[in-house]
Structure 1
């Protein structure tokens, strides 16, 4: 646990006791993921090529227990690409339903900034087969990710984060 998170927990006081033992275990648990929208000076997006699914994806991954989404984003970009980039501001929070082997998720997209495409990127061989720079319009990605990234690009220009459900703006 990082220092900031530990301080937040200290401010909260002792953990709450369950009034009805076992109820917390029976509640739904969602997967949380965090990704970075990294662009080049031409506004192409940096995608990773996972070896475990047929579509491109953003650099990022699953948030670990007790880990803030912003810290997970930075950790995952470092693990996947060898890049220690600061996590920028929140662009989109998107809920996606469970599908196939994946449970439903709350997905955070953070601004990963602008990176020179010649930067030394080292894709993690255990989970990626490479990287690809692409315009959003040409990227072979799921429709929901395309919608989510369209919203993220909007959030970059408006300065306001966007709440979405399956890539559709909510309200």
Structure 2
């Protein structure tokens, strides 16, 4: 969203709502939000990254920073990870992910990252801090290197591309 539009929208909202019971807002749980992109090549294969910070494949994208929308997080992370300022398309999936280990529960948003032509693929500049490698794979080819929940989420994203209807999921279901 354009910064000027956002500022205008915030001004139109008026003064922030006051708490009836001071301190209550600080006691509410905080959810993490992440935005990722389903980016494909002309053969329909999905762009996967091999992150430097975890053992499984992932799609480009990442966790939203404070006061950043999942869509903007997706755009920023694509620029950082791939060196491309891609046009990010519509929402495909919103998936609630339960708390696991040290990670709080989260909302994972997947947007349509479009189809890259060979000349754009040749321009990919993978950030070595973020990823060791990248590859275009079918979901079946990548399945053994993905968490089951991401496989389910990406299956839903592909369905959303086909039928034009965004999907909501709980842990990929």
TM range (shorter): over 0.9
More moved, 37-46 vs 129-138 = 129-138
- Looking at structure 2, the residues matched to 89 and 41 of structure 1 have their Cα atoms a distance apart, in angstroms, of 19
For residues 79-103 of structure 1, what are the alpha-carbon distances to aligned partners after superposition, in whole Å with 9 as ceiling and x for unaligned?
1110100110000000011112221
More helix by share: 2
- Looking at structure 2, the residues matched to 56 and 138 of structure 1 have their Cα atoms a distance apart, in angstroms, of 11
Aligned to 2:141: 138
For residues 45-78 of structure 1, what are the alpha-carbon distances to aligned partners after superposition, in whole Å with 9 as ceiling and x for unaligned?
0011111111000100011121121111111100
SS at match of 2:94: strand
- Looking at structure 2, the residues matched to 39 and 90 of structure 1 have their Cα atoms a distance apart, in angstroms, of 15
- Looking at structure 2, the residues matched to 135 and 36 of structure 1 have their Cα atoms a distance apart, in angstroms, of 15
More moved, 98-107 vs 137-146 = 98-107
- Looking at structure 1, the residues matched to 68 and 4 of structure 2 have their Cα atoms a distance apart, in angstroms, of 11
| Cα-Cα RMSD | 1.2
Aligned to 1:126: 129
- Looking at structure 1, the residues matched to 112 and 147 of structure 2 have their Cα atoms a distance apart, in angstroms, of 20
- Looking at structure 1, the residues matched to 155 and 65 of structure 2 have their Cα atoms a distance apart, in angstroms, of 27
Residue 56 in structure 1 maps to residue 57 in structure 2: yes
For residues 114-167 of structure 1, what are the alpha-carbon distances to aligned partners after superposition, in whole Å with 9 as ceiling and x for unaligned?
012543111111121121211001111111000000000000011111000100
Gaps of 5+ in 2: none
Alignment counterpart, residue 161 of structure 2, candidates 147, 150, 156: 156
Q: TM-score, normalised by structure 1?
A: 0.94
- Looking at structure 1, the residues matched to 58 and 36 of structure 2 have their Cα atoms a distance apart, in angstroms, of 9
Aligned to 1:98: 99
- Looking at structure 2, the residues matched to 75 and 26 of structure 1 have their Cα atoms a distance apart, in angstroms, of 30
Number of equivalent positions = 168
- Looking at structure 2, the residues matched to 86 and 2 of structure 1 have their Cα atoms a distance apart, in angstroms, of 17
Q: TM-score, normalised by structure 2?
A: 0.93
Residue 85 in structure 1 maps to residue 86 in structure 2: yes
